[in-house]
Chain A
Amino acid sequence: KNQVEQSPQSLIILEGKNCTLQCNYTVSPFSNLRWYKQDTGRGPVSLTIMTFSENTKSNGRYTATLDADTKQSSLHITASQLSDSASYICVVILGNQFYFGTGTSLTVIP
């Protein structure tokens, strides 16, 4: 069964600190893996897109890594800001099918 699981389920960090979110998947092979940010009451917005052969992709303070051998991806957020408070969703794409992770709810406090 194709699954995408994320951890932790929720996370609270102080403003300015770094954090890392994890994504484990069983979908294989896949065309690309994406991380999305979803603000409360809004639709998901793409942060990073990685193909099977890529190991890392950065977008400003967001850096995603991919280990295809262990089927794991992580999203590292550097120098967190209050506006980073949101849900972060890992999505693995196989063909035309999107497999959504369970999401991590991040709260950044001052």
Chain B
Amino acid sequence: GAVVSQHPSRVICKSGTSVKIECRSLDFQATTMFWYRQFPKQSLMLMATSNEGSKATYEQGVEKDKFLINHASLTLSTLTVTSAHPEDSSFYICSARPETSGREQYFGPGTRLTVT
């Protein structure tokens, strides 16, 4: 149980284009989902917290107009990187918090984004 999937697992896009990453909780409903970014040899850095049906809360320094987050249902959150630049190349990981658990998080397998 408690499986979180991400799609795609890898994506390459050209500079200036937008790319969407999906995060799904497969066997539970998640009222809250988190998006993290991880650069090589560094730990996870929280980008934003999204709650189903409301606007996401972004961490300081994260551009909300560049990283669009939509949490339209209890099992799906999407992160759209708009007008991507090479410096946006990173490993993006989502996690989902079950609606029945106050503090648990289950992590997805991550999405490797490369912007050329």
Name the residue in B41, B44, B46, B95 with the highest tally of chain A Cβ atoms < 10 Å from its Cβ: B44
B93 interface hit (Cβ, 8 Å): yes
Roughly how many angstroms separate A96 CA and B8 CA in the complex, as a whole number? 28
In the complex the two chains form, is A44's CB within 8 Å of B103's CB?
Answer: no
Q: Do A42 and B103 form a contact, CB below 8 Å, given A100-B43, A105-B41?
A: no
| Complex interface bits, A22-41 against B, C-beta within 8 A gives 1, otherwise 0 | 00000000010000100001
A89 interface hit (Cβ, 8 Å): yes
B110 interface hit (Cβ, 8 Å): yes
Contact pick for B43, options A43, A89, A95, A96, CB 8 Å = A89
From DSSP, what is the main secondary structure of chain A's interface residues? loop
Task: List B contacts of A82 (CB < 8 A).
Answer: none
In the complex the two chains form, is B107's CB within 8 Å of A103's CB?
Answer: no
A7 interface hit (Cβ, 8 Å): no
Which residue of the partner chain B has the closest CB to A4? B43
A79 interface hit (Cβ, 8 Å): no
Give 23 CB contacts A-B under 8 Å.
Answer: A31-B103, A41-B91, A41-B112, A42-B109, A42-B110, A43-B4, A43-B93, A43-B95, A43-B108, A43-B109, A43-B110, A44-B44, A44-B107, A45-B107, A89-B43, A89-B44, A93-B103, A96-B102, A101-B43, A103-B41, A103-B42, A103-B43, A105-B41
**With contacts A44-B93, A100-B45 known, what are 12 further pairs, Cβ within 8 A?**
A36-B107, A41-B110, A43-B6, A43-B108, A43-B109, A43-B110, A45-B107, A89-B43, A96-B102, A98-B46, A98-B105, A101-B43
